[in-house]
Structure 1
Amino acid sequence: MASYVALLRGVNVGGVRLAMADLRSAVADCGHTDVATYVQSGNVVLTASGRRSPVRLAAEIRAAIAARAGIEPRVVVLRAAEWDDLVDGNPYPHVTYGTRLHAVVAQELFTDAQRRAALEIAERVREGGSRDELTIRGRVAYLHLPDGMGRSVLAEKLGRSRASGHQDATARNWRTVLALQEMLHR
């Protein structure tokens, strides 16, 4: 039995609604156990029998949500150990306010071209006076946003950039990241 975290992109924002009870049922319908959600933004912790690839799990969960709720959000899945690596890889340990640090998680590693595009955006934004910071490690882009997500020019530009790969990824604030880690290890 292995534990995973699944992150849905874009649910319960912008008119795309998914009840967490429906999400839990859809994941359980895939044969997974210990299914638990955290807040209303599409965070799921689950136990899967046997070793399954995160990519396969993401596809299964997406299909189950489509069958149950008629929507097909992007789904990113990581093993518990990968989530622990995400937490341990935090390049901004001095940031203690959980909504000023975000992890933008992709299913696959960011490519060199995506990294370059994202870092160029970050550099231009900083030249414009922003205090926002970006570090990319593997499949995770860490955003330190001292003025918050809602005021972040960096987050807005990355979210609109196809070249940076952020449109295919999903962001979680650090408070959520740590809560999911705790759920994974219960």
Structure 2
Amino acid sequence: MTAVVALLRAVNVGSRTVRSAELKAVATSLGHTEVVTYVNSGNLVLVPADGASPDDVAAGLSAAFESQYGFAVPVVARTAAEWELVVRALPFRAEAESDRSHLVVYCWDGVPDVASIRTFDASVYGNETVIWHGRETYAYYPDGIGRSKLTLPVLSKAAGRVGTARNWRTVLALQKLAQERS
């Protein structure tokens, strides 16, 4: 079996606290094995139960978290091989070497609306650079992420999709964890 990277959106934000041990317990209760978490922000790497697809893993985790915690938890999942492609497709190689803390990957629950992203202008929001690539969007925030107006809701609206973001350090850590389980 190949590993799956599962990214939960909006956990441990405000009053929506779910500890890593609880994330792991929910995933394990669904029959997934070799479940590990990475930092306390909704990152799981697991081997899916009964050969479940990444979409099945995402839907199952989302339903289980909503049932257990009473709030919607969108989940985006990729196989280890798909995650490798996310890493390889990075259009910001120089920035990944020199300034990785300002580099973010947005993962969507499907391919963004082509017509909408074609007209999207990141320069309206500041100095950020955005590259749309399949089900991912790569963004470089040279002035920092914290105060940027180019936020997940802005990109989600442009994409017409539900998604979640991870910084480049987390992307690489999840790649390593997925490789160890595949």
TM-score, with structure 1 as normaliser: 0.88
Contact 1:4 1:184 in 2 (8 A): yes
Query: How many Å separate the matches in 2 of 1:101 and 1:17?
Result: 25
Question: Greater shift after overlay, 13-22 or 3-12?
Answer: 13-22
- Identity over aligned pairs, percent: 37
Query: How many Å separate the matches in 1 of 2:101 and 2:30?
Result: 32
The residue number in structure 1 matching 2:133 is 137
Contact 2:108 2:161 in 1 (8 A): no
The residue number in structure 2 matching 1:85 is 85
Aligned equivalent of 2:168, options 160, 174, 177: 174
Residues 104-149 of structure 1 deviation map (CA, whole Å, 9 limit, x = unaligned): 00021112133235x23x1433xxxx32100000011100001111
Residues 155-182 of structure 1 deviation map (CA, whole Å, 9 limit, x = unaligned): 23x5246531376110000000000001
1:13-162 matches, within 5 Å, as 13-95=13-95, 96=97, 97-117=99-119, 119-120=120-121, 122-125=122-125, 130-153=126-149, 155-156=150-151, 159-160=153-154
Query: How many Å separate the matches in 1 of 2:123 and 2:127?
Result: 11
Query: What's the offset of the Cα at 1:16?
Result: 1.3
Residues 2-37 of structure 1 deviation map (CA, whole Å, 9 limit, x = unaligned): 200000111111321111111100000110000000
Q: 1:165 and 1:150, CA in 2 relative to 1: closer, same or farther beyond 3 A?
A: same
Question: Greater shift after overlay, 76-85 or 62-71?
Answer: 62-71
| Letter paired with 2:135 | R
Contact 1:99 1:175 in 2 (8 A): yes
| Letter paired with 2:88 | D
Question: Greater shift after overlay, 55-64 or 44-53?
Answer: 44-53
Alignment pair present for 1:3 and 2:13: no
Contact 1:45 1:180 in 2 (8 A): yes
RMSD: 1.8
Aligned residues: 178
TM-score, with structure 2 as normaliser: 0.90
| Letter paired with 1:175 | R
Unaligned 5+ runs, structure 2: none
